[in-house]
Structure 1
Amino acid sequence: MSNTLILASQSPRRKELLEQLGYDFICLPADINESVLPQETPEQYVARLAIEKARVIAKQYDENVVVLGSDTSVIFGQHILGKPASLDECIAILTMLSGKSHQVVTAIAAVKGERSDVIVVKTEVDFKVLTEQEIKRYWQTGEPQDKAGAYGIQGIAGQFVKQIRGSYSAVVGLPLYETSQLLSAFGVKSSMTKD
């Protein structure tokens, strides 16, 4: 029997990326506490959330199920930038990123029975200088409201990005290369790898 795959997320972007790799899977969002722990680095934070999301779902199934969890954070200095709750927060976040380089850290985790593994992928993103008018217009589009770091690279905000060093798909929410390597190690086949 082949392994059933569950994506522990309701992110439409992660769903699209996993479909792009040719996997059959179902989506089940994991409800976990996403607070940052004291002394936790951004890398430890995303790794912990990715594995917790996968474990919460995996507990409900037998060991033929592989659960993929993922978490993405936008990091500036040692600050983990969350989703903006207001226009003022959006302005504060994007003004901080304006004309500078920041990191996007994405963790992916696979859980199958007692077995688990996690991979953390870091990408450097360079922003152009943004005016307050541009940020306000961007807020009006509705795009930044549900995005960590107040932007989505795959959307309108792609025009703010001068360059990236690392994985574009990791910035969107699921690093394609690392995800296919991880799932292959857990015995999950995609339509690209089936005999």
Structure 2
Amino acid sequence: MLQNLLQHKNLILASQSPRRQELLKALEVDFEVRLKPIDESYPAGMQPAEIAKYIAKKKAAAFLNELTDDTILITGDTLVFKDEQALGKPKDAEEATRMLQSLSGTSHEVISSVCVTTSKLQWVTHDSATVHFRVFSEAEIQHYINTYKPFDKAGAYGIQEWIGHIALLKLEGSYNTVMGLPTQKLYSLLEIAATA
């Protein structure tokens, strides 16, 4: 059991996302949250999965000099891709509206990476899912943005919020991956890291 393997480990989640914190809690492990500001830019020409992994590793790099032998650090990144274009976090309501309009009535890809780092080793992987939305009305888009203010979410939406409940037609892949943390892959990486 993972809980036993992690008994003498200090698990750190470097994410302010309440969704990631909730999902990690669901794995029944003890952890603390530590945050550092990170520049999430990436080199041009990278493939979608590479971008997500690159940013997760960049987030881990900020903590490297403070990791002790008993520490395991978890970082991650989630990106929404529509027609090969990355949709990041919208900077305002206007941009959020444009993003949701582009996702309305179509499918898009969500890629979530997870990076597990110790003082000696690092493992990084990703998972992807395809989300199919029905058409949103303008009133629905405005209600969602005004009520839920999805400015901290890639693609301007959270699948677990109202918009997901009313508009998700089909999901190919893991729901947790769309929420921001591929828990099944993380669980395996933590088992490896705890015994490495």
Q: Shared fold (TM-score greater than 0.5)?
A: yes
SS at match of 1:129: coil
SS at match of 2:79: strand
Q: Among residues 21, 25, 34, which one is paired with 2:27 in the alignment?
A: 21
Aligned length: 188
2:67 maps to a residue whose letter is Y
SS at match of 2:194: coil
**Contact 1:30/1:54 (<8 A) preserved:** no
Q: What do the CA deviations read for 1:142-188 (whole angstroms, capped 9, x no partner)?
A: 33222110100011121221111101011111111111111011117
1:42 maps to a residue whose letter is P
**Over the residues paired in the alignment, what is the CA RMSD in angstroms?**
1.4
Instruction: Measure, in 2, the Cα distance between the counterparts of 1:143 and 1:169.
Output: 21
Instruction: Measure, in 1, the Cα distance between the counterparts of 2:55 and 2:42.
Output: 10
Instruction: Tell me the equivalent position of 2:182.
Output: 175
Q: What do the CA deviations read for 1:52-88 (whole angstroms, capped 9, x no partner)?
A: 2123223212122110111000111111101122222
**Contact 2:42/2:54 (<8 A) preserved:** no
Instruction: Tell me the equivalent position of 2:167.
Output: 160
Instruction: Measure, in 2, the Cα distance between the counterparts of 1:127 and 1:50.
Output: 27
Equivalent runs, 1:36-185 vs 2, <5 Å: 36-158=42-164, 159-185=166-192
Deviation at 1:93, TM superposition (A): 0.6
TM-score normalised to structure 2 length: 0.91
Q: Which portions of structure 1, spanning 4 or more consecutive aligned residues, are displaced by more than 4 angstroms? A: none
| Percent of aligned positions that are identical | 36
Q: Among residues 5, 11, 35, which one is paired with 2:17 in the alignment?
A: 11
TM-score normalised to structure 1 length: 0.91
Instruction: Measure, in 2, the Cα distance between the counterparts of 1:111 and 1:23.
Output: 16
Instruction: Measure, in 1, the Cα distance between the counterparts of 2:151 and 2:188.
Output: 32
Query: Structure 1: which 5+ runs fail to align?
Result: 189-195
Deviation at 1:114, TM superposition (A): 2.7
2:103 maps to a residue whose letter is L
Instruction: Measure, in 2, the Cα distance between the counterparts of 1:71 and 1:36.
Output: 12
Deviation at 1:36, TM superposition (A): 2.8
**Contact 1:55/1:111 (<8 A) preserved:** no
**Contact 2:42/2:55 (<8 A) preserved:** no
Instruction: Measure, in 2, the Cα distance between the counterparts of 1:63 and 1:51.
Output: 19
Instruction: Measure, in 1, the Cα distance between the counterparts of 2:149 and 2:28.
Output: 27
